[in-house]
Structure 1
């Protein structure tokens, strides 16, 4: 999708369609010619459009405009929330994409509480996401959309808007990279495939270097928890390290992202039920979001030092697979009794977290993982759980999520939960029982991040959608992560 920003007189701006947001209590935009406003008023009085929230209606041959049609978008009785505005952008883009429109123009909303810069930035991102298609495996892909360009229009010239749409598009590209990886079938997307994706990114961007540790190397280094998960599969596990040097390394150290990359999760010996097991290809959603974030950071050439680590493995019930009751030694030296092999994400993450701290000395570490079904029970599909040992880091991530509509919710890490991980045979066990499952999983990871500012995002409810033709990877939390990185560049 191509984007542009324009303040050329509206009457002279050629477009196949002009998108206009209208509320029941709002006056018609003064930027529209008086004849157009009168035409819309008559159209509304006739009952064809009542501006109810989410209503979309075409009005053809608008007067005194060089546009073939208007797409009127209702915003309802009261001011739109940020989330509501983004939802309307998504809905309107879907409508445009399924129409004959090739070039559309979006009339920026002076009545919205957010700035024009925010509208262009987040609007560009949502448009990019809304035109996403995954037809790679169809023998006859659906006809391509006609929509090729969208221009944001406002009467006043503002140089920040051009930068805003560039930023939004780059974040949208990162989201769609994550979605592509998540939607790939597990027979094609496996640990070594992800290593290839990382190497391709390294070839594309000069400031990005890539290193891959094999499963054998990881085992030799002492990553017993990671190896316990990876060894049950014919596919070799991989520790993928991407280092982006957009700024010179400092004594403070880089920011680190660590992604859970379980490319398929059977549950191992603690086998999952067969129903919906196909969705376990999405268990690498944390890794996918790391790749998407790296893509956006490189596209924007951000002035930061970033290290991104992906712990990639398949969790399979092979004869060599880890068993309930096994005890493994982690890279940190701590030992773990494995009581449930389906709690494998925390096992690969704990060694990756230790590795990045030992090798790269980051000042901040954020791990991202589709970690627990308990998180889905707690928060559903709307917010990812945010755990942290640092209040400022937690608040920065939550603010980034609120700014982009990629929202999170703060969760507790109280010491009282730690006792559920006590083991009679090892330093800890990998599950904490049926109560507070998302919290005890985060408590487990906290034992490997005591010396660094750390946050854990449990994205089990937000990384993909289930059911019908809408099923697929969402690319979350790339918007939250990239906004955080931009805010702290």
Structure 2
């Protein structure tokens, strides 16, 4: 989607490679080394002269563009700060600076010389993955409904030299690029307006992803089939809209037949008006982002298929619109879920859990290794964690720890929240087995406790991404938590 090609190449002498822009990392307070020293010599000392002027002191986030030397038309110096302080935080800033600096040139290709660059708390593979992901996500442009989209990144090909060597370096670059492809897919789907991105549109995108891929099959369950399955909780959400709901199942078979699948379940409310419990008008347009969980599942499946991971993954999207009308579900109505539990719908704006509970019951048939649901579920999670961390709930410590570790590695972090019986008591109803909201306080927790009632028979985690799926200013989908989910699955494939 970014239109950017990333290629690994072993470069023993930077002065022999023809490129429109050579990107050279430089540490502050140090003499030039390796590729920087060679290009400085070929350019008559232009790099060292620039450092002596002190306009560019190689601080983190700094960059400066110089005339070419040897076979490089331009030389881009990128500051890395002090070598001893070059950690993951500094490396991510380096990657962002490379992108923004390249974006300011007219170069069509670039050579990034990383042989002399190491991160003291990460591997060379991590650095390459991070660079690839940063460049490819930076190059994303939304184009579908604007007459004059932002100009695309001029650079279309980036070659990277690393101590890893060509093969391992290319593997790391490909992993970063595939993750970025998944993130960009999720961002694009979530950024689309709700009159385009409907439940049927999400089903089309799933089928498009499976086209030509023998390992990926797609099944779409319609409302008639849902009714036959007893998914009345799910159907209660879609009762007020003309847009038909869809349960979309993407089955990727990359592992052995005997391997249990990892199941991802995405909340796909393509527009959430709140239903009869209608939302305030202010910022209601942002409710097109309420399918961020579904977008992240499609994005993660995109990354998984591009990497051809050797494991079985099933992505399931619970897609529906939540609208008010004469046929809409009313507060106080009671519905029977697929599990047989009855639910009193006290608030029709707590609709995500109503589609998810039936979907979580449905996926039990896959005999999963683990199930992870992803949902823009509660405003209460935004209050608790803001936009930095997704809320993580799990009935299994091992699964929770693996997801937390993956989030840290991918810098797509989550924070574990309690899942205690004390909160479940807040869901008691006089007229049904459960109410769909709890009494005051702990709204994100009671929502997760509600879902946990339908996940007793397998290892399960819930990611509340209400605060992380999009930014309010500027209004823009983030593609989270595709990075976390993809890293988790890469780690499982490695084991």
- Per the TM superposition, whether the score is higher than 0.5 is yes
- How many residues were matched structurally? 483
User: Structure 1 105/400 Cα, relative in aligned 2: closer, same or farther at 3 Å?
Assistant: same
1:410 equivalent in alignment to 2:419: no
Residue 4 of structure 1: aligned partner: 7
Following TM superposition, where does structure 1 have runs of at least 4 consecutive aligned residues deviating by more than 6 angstroms? none
Q: Within 5 Å, give how 1:207-218 maps onto structure 2.
A: 207-218=215-226
Match of 1:467 in 2: 473
Say yes or no: does 1:334 pair with 2:337: no
Once the two structures are superposed, residues 157-190 of structure 1 have per-residue CA deviations (whole angstroms, 9 ceiling, x without a partner) of 3521111111211111111111111111100110
User: Hey, what does 2:113 align to over in structure 1?
Assistant: 107
2:174 aligned with 1:166, yes or no?
yes
1:366 is the counterpart of 2:372: yes
Partners of 1:82 and 1:405 within 8 A in 2: no
Conserved? CA contact 1:215–1:230, under 8 Å: no
1:137 aligns with 2:134: no
Tell me how far apart the structure 1 counterparts of residues 295 and 20 of structure 2 sit (CA, whole Å). 36
Shift of 1:380: 1.5
Is residue 2:63 matched to residue 1:56? yes
Residue 231 of structure 1 deviates from its aligned partner by: 1.2
Q: CA deviation at 1:225?
A: 1.0
Aligned-partner Cα distance in 1 for 2:281–2:38: 62
Match of 1:274 among 266, 269, 281: 281
Give the stretch that moved more between structures: 344-353 or 82-91.
Answer: 82-91
* Structure 1 CA distance for aligned equivalents of residues 100 and 63 of structure 2: 11
Cα RMSD of the aligned pairs, angstroms, is 1.8
Equivalent position SS for 1:488:
helix
Identify the match of residue 432 of structure 1 among 438, 441, 444: 438
Show the counterpart of 2:165: 157
Check whether the contact 1:58–1:70 (CA below 8 A) recurs between aligned residues.
yes
SS at match of 2:60: coil
The 8 Å contact of residues 323 and 341 in structure 1, kept in 2 or not, is answered as yes
Task: Note the C-alpha offset of 1:277.
Answer: 1.1
Equivalent position to 2:262, from 247, 251, 255: 255
TM superposition shift of 1:418: 1.3
The alignment partner of 2:107 has SS state of coil
Deviation for aligned residue 1:103: 0.8
1:88 and 1:437 map into 2 onto residues whose CA distance is 39
Residue 256 of structure 1, CA deviation: 0.6
Report the counterpart of residue 241 of structure 2 in structure 1: 233
Please give the alpha-carbon distance, in whole angstroms, between the structure 1 residues aligned to 2:482 and 2:329.
32
Cα distance in 1, alignment partners of residues 32 and 100 from structure 2: 24
In structure 2, the residue matched to 1:70 is 75
User: What is the CA–CA distance in structure 2 between the aligned matches of 1:178 and 1:321, rounded to whole Å?
Assistant: 29
Partner SS state of residue 241, structure 2: coil
In 2 relative to 1, CA 84–342 (structure 1 residues): closer, same or farther, beyond 3 Å? farther
**Contact preservation (8 Å) 2:14, 2:38:** no
SS of corresponding position for 2:35: coil
Is residue 481 from structure 1 mapped to residue 485 from structure 2 by the alignment? yes
Shift of 1:92: 2.3
Helix, strand or coil at the partner of 1:229: helix
Secondary structure in 2 aligned to 1:462? coil
Paired with 1:152 and 1:99, the residues of 2 have a C-alpha distance of: 18
Q: Does 1:355 align with 2:370?
A: no
Aligned equivalent of 1:121, options 120, 129, 141: 129
Secondary structure of the residue aligned to 1:31 is helix
Are the equivalent residues in 1 in contact too, given 2:334–2:432 (CA < 8 A)? yes
Whether the 8 Å CA contact 1:178–1:288 is kept in 2: the answer is yes
- Residue of structure 2 in register with 1:318 after alignment: 325
Q: Secondary structure at the match of 1:197?
A: helix
Displacement of 1:290 in angstroms is 0.5
* Aligned partner of residue 314 in structure 2, secondary structure: strand
On the 8 A contact 1:83/1:405 being kept in 2, the answer is no
- Mapped to 2, the partners of 1:156 and 1:294 lie a distance apart of 28
Secondary structure class of the residue paired with 2:409: helix
Match of 1:303 among 296, 303, 310: 310
- In structure 2, distance between residues paired with 1:286 and 1:15: 41
**Relative to structure 1, is the Cα distance of residues 298 and 34 closer, same or farther in structure 2, using a 3 angstrom cutoff?**
closer
Q: Is the 8 A contact 2:78 2:97 kept in 1?
A: no
My pick for the range that moved more, 230-239 or 107-116, is 107-116
Match of 1:193 among 197, 201, 220: 201
Change (3 A) 1:49 1:205: same
Aligned residue for 2:34, secondary structure, equals coil
Moved more, 36-45 or 270-279: 36-45
Aligned counterpart for 2:17 among listed residues 7, 13, 28: 13
Could you report, residue by residue, the CA deviation over 1:312-340 in whole angstroms, capped at 9, with x for unpaired residues? 00010111111111111111111111111
The answer for unaligned runs of 5 or more in structure 2 is none
- Residue 148 (structure 1) aligned to one of 156, 159, 184: 156
- 8 Å Cα contact 2:139/2:152 also seen in 1: no
176-185 vs 73-82, which deviates more?
A: 73-82
